[in-house]
């Protein structure tokens, strides 16, 4: 797994597909802070994960897209260690960042896995960096994590950070220093708002939305929550949950995200875990809707994200599964290839949504069978619904050698959630790389 994470450096700079996750196989970016700058493109600033043994890494990459359908990655945008080191005073890991723009300069706000000099800022004339000259932001002893900066309509910038309790302070016009006299703690709390960490702020129709990692379900911060106010300094009223990444992976622990408008549509950015690890995460997004009263409806995790439902007649990468139950998880098996692995009896994987068009007659899966026979049962809409097809996987495999198997299905049509249920004896029943539906060729 560690090798797979480090291989992110080696992935060629090619556009990613529209579906979730929006980063390609072999790349693990989390804690997405999204912004649309004056060129009209979406930019996402986040942590880069590289190992299941620790959070994040020593450098940041920046994602960008003109349409939310194709994504590019600018690597080595900022680093705290190595050849691109721009933090002379520390070699600590870089946690979640944010970015803001003013008067021709982009300001990258970063935080370090350190007990002192946690908060910092670096600058660039480009939204994708490189960001240089990292310097400390003095937070007067409130050394915590996850900085974010919000700029109000009057040009006043606010610095937001904190874990367990949210802090807000005004930034001075230079965008690199806070006005210490304005520091306000407990703007959000765990008790009142389920606040854990990962603050972010936007304004819409006179309402300030404080977005954060929400720890109100299952004693884990798996949700992106929000609170609202008529002032960026609060008080804030608890709003609810926007998206929950529970069941994206058996090792999921946290979430961190943002909301942003592009071309008249609003989206929530968040991350999901992979590899059965809380420390190997990938950026995803979903469209969201505001109600007339300003509230936000909770949305589900999907495989399609900002794109259309997955086309059943085109190759569907197995790692596009948005819901996983049991031991099954998304994991890497090569530098730029991922799969569903760790599969055990009664594990289930869901895809939302798949377009079967006017109907299909068979399904072909690329699998690596294990030693004992196994079975994949396909159903639509609900994971306990009746089967539309069954794929028998012969035993005698080594769990490493790939083969394709085709089986008939009962002519599903239209758009549905697709569920795969795995059965068999023992652990590591099989690995699955992809599936594709086609016409009945019998």
Per-residue pLDDT averaged across 82-94, rounded? 96
Instruction: Give yes or no: residues 432 and 367 share one domain.
Output: yes
The closest of 271, 224, 227 to 252, measured between CA atoms, is: 271
From 254, 288, 322, give the residue that closes a domain. Answer: 288
316, 397: one domain: yes
Q: Is residue 358 part of a domain?
A: yes
Considering the domain architecture, whether residues 218 and 160 belong to the same structural domain is answered as: yes
- Domain termination site, one of 258, 288, 318: 288
Assess whether 319 and 237 both reside in one domain.
Answer: no
> Do 268 and 355 fall within a single domain?
no
Query: Per-residue pLDDT tens for 112-148?
Result: 999 899 999 999 999 999 999 999 999 999 999 999 9
In a shared domain, residues 18 and 134: yes
Six token digits for residue 163:
């874990």
Please indicate, yes or no, if residue 305 is contained in any of the structural domains.
no
What is the rounded CA–CA span in Å between residue 329 and residue 236?
Answer: 37
How much is the pLDDT for 440? 65
Residue 218 shares a structural domain with residue 315: no
363 domain-assigned: yes
- Residue with token string 């080191």: 85
Domain limits for position 370: 310-438
Q: Are residues 235 and 327 in the same domain?
A: no
Q: In sequence order, what E strands does 42-147 have?
A: 42-48, 59-65, 72-79, 98-102, 105-111, 119-124, 132-136
Percent of the chain with pLDDT over 70: 95
Number of domains in the chain: 2
Please tell me the predicted confidence (pLDDT) of residue 439: 87
pLDDT of 348-369, one tens digit each?
A: 999 999 999 999 999 999 999 9
Averaged over 151-157, what is the pLDDT? Answer: 98
Q: Is 295 part of a structural domain of the chain?
A: no
Is the residue at 271 inside a domain?
A: yes
Checking if the pLDDT of 64 tops 80, the result is yes
* pTM score above 0.85: yes
| pLDDT surpasses 50 at 11 | no
Q: What pLDDT shows up at residue 14?
A: 38
Per-residue pLDDT, 18: 63
Check whether residue 96 and residue 205 sit in a common domain: yes
* pLDDT surpassing 80 at residue 441: no
Is residue 1 pLDDT above 60, yes or no? no
- Is residue 293 assigned to a domain? no
Task: Flag whether 296 is in a domain.
Answer: no
Are residues 335 and 261 part of one domain? no
My answer on whether 349 and 430 are in the same domain is yes
Q: What pLDDT score does 141 carry?
A: 94
Mean pLDDT score, 254-273: 98
Q: Report the C-alpha gap between 30 and 279 in whole angstroms.
A: 9
User: Are both 346 and 222 inside the same structural domain?
Assistant: no
Q: Is residue 327 part of a domain?
A: yes
Residue 176 backbone dihedrals phi, psi, to 5 degrees:
-120, -5
pLDDT at position 8 is: 34
Structure tokens belonging to residue 176:
């690199």
Which CATH number fits the domain that encloses residue 91?
Answer: 2.115.10.20
């Amino acid at each position: 797994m560690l090798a797979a994470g480090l291989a992110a450096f080696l992935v060629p700079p090619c556009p990613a597909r529209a579906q979730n996750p929006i980063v390609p196989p072999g790349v693990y970016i989390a804690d997405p802070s999204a912004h649309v700058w004056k060129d009209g493109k979406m930019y996402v600033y986040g942590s880069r994960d590289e190992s299941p043994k620790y959070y994040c890494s020593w450098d940041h990459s920046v994602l960008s897209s003109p349409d939310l359908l194709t994504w590019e990655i600018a690597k080595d945008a900022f680093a705290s260690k190595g050849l691109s080191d721009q933090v002379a005073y520390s070699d600590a890991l870089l946690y979640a960042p944010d970015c803001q723009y003013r008067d021709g300069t982009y300001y990258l706000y970063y935080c370090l896995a350190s007990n002192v000099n946690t908060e910092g800022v670096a600058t660039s004339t480009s939204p994708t960096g490189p960001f240089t000259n990292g310097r400390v932001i003095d937070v007067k002893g409130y050394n915590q994590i996850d900085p974010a900066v919000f700029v109000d309509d009057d040009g006043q910038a606010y610095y937001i950070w904190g874990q367990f309790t949210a802090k807000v302070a005004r930034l001075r016009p230079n965008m690199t220093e806070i006005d210490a006299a304005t520091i306000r703690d407990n703007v959000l709390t765990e008790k009142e708002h389920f606040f854990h960490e990962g603050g972010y702020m936007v304004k819409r129709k006179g309402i300030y939305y404080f977005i954060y990692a929400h720890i109100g379900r299952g004693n884990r911060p798996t949700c992106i929550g929000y609170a609202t106010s008529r002032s960026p300094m609060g008080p804030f009223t608890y709003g609810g949950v926007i998206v929950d990444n529970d069941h994206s992976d058996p090792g999921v622990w946290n979430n961190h995200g943002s909301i942003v408008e592009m071309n008249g549509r609003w989206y929530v950015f968040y991350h999901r875990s992979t590899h059965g690890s809380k420390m190997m995460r990938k950026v995803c997004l979903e469209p969201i809707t505001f109600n007339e009263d300003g509230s936000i409806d909770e949305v589900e995790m999907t495989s399609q994200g900002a794109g259309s439902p997955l086309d059943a007649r085109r190759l569907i990468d197995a790692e596009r599964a948005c819901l996983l139950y049991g031991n099954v998880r998304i994991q890497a098996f090569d530098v730029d290839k991922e799969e569903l692995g760790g599969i055990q009896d009664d594990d289930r994987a869901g895809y939302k949504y798949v377009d079967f068009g006017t109907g299909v007659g068979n399904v072909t899966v690329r699998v690596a069978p294990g030693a004992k026979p196994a079975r994949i049962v396909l159903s639509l809409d609900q994971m306990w619904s009746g089967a539309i097809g069954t794929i028998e996987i012969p035993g005698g495999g080594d769990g490493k050698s790939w083969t394709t198997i085709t089986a008939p299905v009962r002519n599903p049509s239209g758009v549905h959630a697709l569920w795969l249920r795995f059965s068999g004896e023992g652990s590591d029943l099989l690995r699955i790389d992809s599936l594709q539906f086609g016409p009945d060729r019998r």
